[in-house]
Amino acid sequence: MFGEKRPLCLEIGFGDGRYLEFLAQRQPRCNVLGLEISHRSLTKAERLLPHYPNLRVLHSSAELALLQLFAPAELAEVHINFPDPWFKQGHRGRRLLRQEVLPLLLNRMAVGSLLRLATDVLPYAEAMAALLQQEAALSNLLPQPAAAPWTTERPFGPPTKYEQRARQAGRTCYYFAYRRNDASTPGTAEPKRIEEWPLPHLVFHSPLSITEMQREFERQFSPRTIAATHPSAAEIHLHYLAVYATEDADALLFETFVREGALHQRLALHLTRQRPHATNEERRYTLSLSGIGHPRATPGCHWALAVLGRWLLQLHPAARVIHQRLRGWDEVVSALS
């Protein structure tokens, strides 16, 4: 992405980009990467790019980027300013810095790299302190001998937008500074990336027409969504949201949402009728992954296609598989029979 390999400095959730700009300005010899999930923030940050050749921004959740995009020990600095606090008890599992994400972060941080965090939410600060203090691979950089879990004076860089708001509202801010040391703990082990498999497809015969299959889907699936969980990989969830037909009723698109760990894909499964070569030839269909949305052919996509394919087949007793390239097909068949 940068054209030249230099120490990589990451800001997660850069908001209006003012701190990101500070990082790019202060460290021209570093590659600075900002991660955001907000389109607005990304669009806003575009104005900075022409001025800083060492700056890039990326639309991705931090959890997914950390898992899929970085090599172990690739990051020289990580900055997280005022992450979304998720106040509600039930939503705390969505907080960025939590037990499951820390090992991933530590794996991606180089020995000697910096981790800087700030929040104005005391319960979040307390949770972060508890998490970070017990991690042997992190050394607290705050002045010794007190080595408090946080300081309430900004130790580095300009205030961010959220920080200004918090201070104006009279809230205290909590800042953390850690260095990744060379301790190797279970938390620093290489995490398992989401694999990519060959493109999945299923060719089958069914006496039903495209329109009949569409009607069945609308009757049984829509507007409800169904969620299925992979029996061998519990973290895959599928939601079949809607079906769309071509005008000539030759093909269907099934809008589908696949969630597997940090990867969320909204994709389309494509059902087409193969052109008959002879008038009395049986109806053959191909179910495949459409290119809409540039999906990655992950285990979740194979599972989504297999579950839908199995459902289409069970609509008629004479339907049968002709050919398939689907990992997990046998599991789906036995799980759904």
Residue 13 vs 187, nearer CB to ligand SAM:
13
Cα separation, 246 vs 273, in Å, equals 12
Q: Taking each helix axis from N to C terminus, what angle separates 329-336 and 299-313, rounded to the nearest 10 degrees? A: 50
Residue 54 vs 160, nearer CB to ligand SAM:
160
Nearest distance, CB of residue 165 and ligand SAM, angstroms: 8
Residue 12 vs 313, nearer CB to ligand SAM:
12
Nearest distance, CB of residue 132 and ligand SAM, angstroms: 18
Residues found near ligand SAM in the complex (CB under 6 A): 12-15, 35-38, 41, 61-63, 81-84, 96, 160-163
Nearest distance, CB of residue 247 and ligand SAM, angstroms: 39
Active site residue 84: yes
Cβ pair 82, 120 in contact under 8 A: yes
Cα separation, 100 vs 104, in Å, equals 8
Residue nearest to ligand SAM (CB): 13
Cα separation, 308 vs 316, in Å, equals 14
The one-letter code for the residue type at 290 is S
Cα separation, 254 vs 326, in Å, equals 17
Residue 63 vs 255, nearer CB to ligand SAM:
63
| 299 contacts: CB under 8 Å, gap ≥ 6 | 194, 195, 197, 230, 233, 236, 260, 327, 328
From 84, 182, 248, 330, active-site residue: 84
Nearest distance, CB of residue 35 and ligand SAM, angstroms: 5
Catalytic positions are: 84
